[in-house]
Copies of this chain bind each other. A is one copy, B any other.
């Protein structure tokens, strides 16, 4: 099985870091292939960057598909779009026969199977409004207890792991006290790993959006859905 791991921003190092983090979780017969937005922003944190990424990922996926075809290799079994908010995902779904799993949607759908309400902890001041838009569009907002924002710059929080963990922990604690969720989603590629690090340290399950999304990609790939004709 072959899964395309799609990065909506232009930082190849982020793609590589995500694949490195996911590889240990891979079942034996699963191969991960990375794709990085060919243009856009180093990190998607504004609505303008979202609009560019929506376009860039179309090109990235199309190029990856063609590369496999040209090499006479089997098509992808799924695409894991590893960008919380997954701009342009509906277009990817409309164009490609394989399932496309988005990090935000997949995390929320996982969370819905774990309790009555979830909270989201993320980084970047523009995200709460963007996530409310996404949750209204996908009709998933009724069970969101709230969104808490980790202060500071996403890439900085991603890099300085000790300080990053401290900030994420504070936001998770605050979300639990203020909104009493049954699950907390630690959201976004920049916060990948923090959710896992917090598991067992707070009184509710903590979902890491990178691994939660990846497991959904595996699940949908394994279903082997095809469209008829």
* A positions within 8 Å CB-CB of B: 25, 27-28, 46-48, 50-52, 54-58, 87-88, 90-91, 93-95, 99-102, 105-106, 109-110, 112-117, 126, 128-130, 132-134, 136-140, 142-143, 180, 182, 199-207, 211-212, 215-216, 218-220, 222-229
Contacts and interface: CB of A to CB of B under 8 A. Distances in A.
A204 B25 CA distance: 31
Identical chains in the assembly: 6
A222 B25 contact: yes
Contact of A116 (B106, B129, B201, B227): B129
A140 B229 CA distance: 29
A58 B52 contact: yes
Given A46-B94, A102-B113, 10 more contacts: A25-B222, A27-B27, A47-B93, A48-B58, A55-B55, A136-B138, A200-B227, A202-B228, A207-B223, A218-B222
